[in-house]
Amino acid sequence: MRNLVVLGAGTAGTMIVNKLRKALPESEWGITVVDRDDRHHYQPGYLFVPFGELEPEDVVHPRRRHLHKGVSFVEAEIDRIDPEADVVHLADGRTLPYDYLVVASGTTPRPDQTPGMAEDEWHRSIFDFYTLEGATALRDALASFTGGRLVMHITEMPIKCPVAPLEFSFLADAYFTKKGLRDKVEIVYVTPLDGAFTKPVASAEIGHLLADRNIAIEPEFMVERIDTDTKTLVSYDEREVPFDLLVTVPLNMGAEFVTRSGLGDELGFVPVDKGTMQSSAHANIFALGDASDIPTSKAGSVAHFSVEIFVDNFLQLVEGRPMTHRFDGHANCFIESGYGKGMLLDFNYDTEPLTGTFPLAKVGPLRLLQESRFNHLGKLSFRWAYWNVLLPGHKLPVPTQMSMAGKNRPAA
Amino acid sequence: MATTTLAGRQLDVNEEGFLTDPSQWDEELGTALAAQIGITLTDAHWRVIRFVREDHAVKGETPTLRRVSTVGGIPIKELFQLFPKKPAKKMSYIAGVPKPVGCV
């Protein structure tokens, strides 16, 4: 009997145990997944909560409901991994020995890492929306906001879903326009990057959209601290951005048990081979989803595509064969742009997001890097597909590897 | 890909002038690259540049400001003083390694 232990029952962890439970016989393999609670959050839904478009309870399901029969679910805090002894120690003293381990414990916003952020103004004039609590508190703050400076701020890359702060800005513009308050609300986008996005084509396209919506951008701003008396963001090079309402994306870090186990980099992400997601330090440990250090977006689509590659490789590995599949860093992200429209980005390690159509050349039906109603509907319908198609481990009609079909190549 | 001549040698560079082959670099060239962007290298600068070179050689990737700070032990505040406005870009340019990618 061999044991696979998966730490984290989020998008990546749930997909992995469900897919592998179907592929590996129960008489030969025990599959265990550990999480600290029984609440699976549909995280893309957080974005809609502040604007009252989704209720907090709409985005939470019991984790157990989405785990296949034959998967053992352990609800516990993780103390640490002992990679020399191949054992996971739980906080309550129990131990889980493993033959193979998958770290799928994601990334966590850490407002405690920036002086002034998680102090007296937290959830008063400073909010996040990458937690359900934060998104819900922000909904109430937006509802009572009658004017002033709304600052959307990113602390440091990498962050989960790097397009979400842009989406928030577009949706805030639409929200205050609809309320007839837009001329009283100044919206500022503060980023450590040198433009709206990390890559040139997308940065230019999205930069235009910010300008069209009268959203000012403050680039290359790396926050050192927040002055809560004057309500000001202060950067390392001593620039200041005042705010009335601050919506921030705190520093993102991997799970603390990863660092305690000596498996993390300086942010607590697990260094892995970017093609196989196999730990650089231990051949029987993998890190999937947001928990690894692969150089692409921390996003559900990346979790999805990389899990497909991992599962195919894992079945080869346990039979003693070489792993022949390599992940290309494929990410596919909808960007809500407000007013019932959306954009779509499709890219990988080597190809930046380009304009064009998706998934088919000319036909689409989705349009890359341009606003359309259809893209917005694609995003909305995805919530159903997430629970009913993706998590159970069924195939979605989207290629695992990025394709150049339909993409406009930039001039060399 | 292009070539340029600096400190009397032929160098392979990208469109932003970053070296594309870190092995073409030595400390004399580092001084010349720094002069190109108006920086005179002091011991404090060299501590950063040497860490960036060593870390890049081991990890295969250019360290981020956070990594230089937490692993290399040089506070981010100091990096902004040594390499004003764009420390990540400037220190990698001088060290002859690519811009840090950790930002997708």
Contact B104 A158 (CB under 8 A): yes
Domain presence at residue B74: yes
Taking only the tens of pLDDT, chain A with its 412 residues reads 999 999 999 999 999 999 999 999 999 999 999 999 999 999 999 999 999 999 999 999 999 999 999 999 999 999 999 999 999 999 999 999 999 999 999 999 999 999 999 999 999 999 999 999 999 999 999 999 999 999 999 999 999 999 999 999 999 999 999 999 999 999 999 999 988 887 888 888 899 999 999 999 999 999 999 999 999 999 999 999 999 999 999 999 999 999 999 999 999 999 999 999 999 999 999 999 999 999 899 999 999 999 999 999 999 999 999 999 999 999 998 899 999 999 999 999 888 889 898 888 888 888 898 888 888 888 888 899 999 999 999 988 888 899 898 898 876 5
Domain boundaries, chain A: 2-106+255-317, 111-252, 331-390
Q: Is the ipTM of this complex over 0.95?
A: no
Q: Domain A2-106+255-317 has what CATH class?
A: alpha beta
Radius of gyration of chain B (CA): 13
Contact A198 B104 (CB under 8 A): yes
* Domain span including residue B48: 2-95
Chain A residues close to B76, C-beta within 8 Å: 222, 224, 236
> Given this model, what pLDDT does residue B1 score?
65
> Given this model, what pLDDT does residue B89 score?
92
A111-252, CATH topology level: FAD/NAD(P)-binding domain (3.50.50)
CA–CA separation, A139 and A245 (whole Å): 12
Give me the residues paired with residue B77 across strands: none
Residue A237 contacts B, CB cutoff 8 Å: yes
Residue A301 contacts B, CB cutoff 8 Å: no
Tokens of B82: 């040594």
In angstroms, what separates the C-alpha of A341 from chain B's closest C-alpha?
24
Domain presence at residue B52: yes
> Given this model, what pLDDT does residue A363 score?
81
Chain B residues close to A192, C-beta within 8 Å: 103
Domain presence at residue B20: yes
Residue A268 contacts B, CB cutoff 8 Å: no
Number of H helices, E strands in chain B: 5, 2
CA–CA separation, A111 and A122 (whole Å): 9
The count of domains in chain B is 1
Beta-strand relationship, A240-242 and A39-41? unpaired
Q: Residue window 39-68, chain B: list those with CB within 8 Å of chain A.
A: 61, 65-67
Domain presence at residue B103: no
Domain presence at residue B13: yes
Find the closest chain A residue to B70 by CA distance.
A266
Residue A405, class by beta-carbon neighbours within 10 Å (0-12 exposed, 13-18 middle, 19+ buried)? middle
Grade residue B102 by pLDDT with cuts at 50, 70 and 90.
low
Intrachain domains A2-106+255-317 and A111-252 with the same fold? yes
Residue B70 contacts A, CB cutoff 8 Å: yes
Grade residue B104 by pLDDT with cuts at 50, 70 and 90.
very low
Mean pLDDT of the region B21-48: 96
Between helix B87-95 and helix B27-36 the angle, nearest 10°, is: 140
Beta-carbon contacts of A311 under 8 Å, excluding residues fewer than 6 positions away, are A16, A19, A20, A23
Give catalytic residue positions of B.
Answer: 103
Domain presence at residue B28: yes
CA count, 13 A, side-chain hemisphere, A94: 8
Please give the sequence-ordered ranges of beta strands (E in DSSP) within B1-104, or none if there are none.
Answer: 2-6, 9-13
A323: left (phi over 0), alpha (psi -120 to 50) or beta: beta
Domain presence at residue B101: no
Residue B76 contacts A, CB cutoff 8 Å: yes
CA-based max dimension of chain B = 36
- Of A256, A236, A269, A291, nearest in space to A112 by CA: A256
Task: Assess whether pLDDT exceeds 70 at residue B103.
Answer: no
In angstroms, what separates the C-alpha of A292 from chain B's closest C-alpha?
12
Grade residue B52 by pLDDT with cuts at 50, 70 and 90.
very high
In angstroms, what separates the C-alpha of B26 from chain A's closest C-alpha?
28
Mean pLDDT of the region B74-98: 95
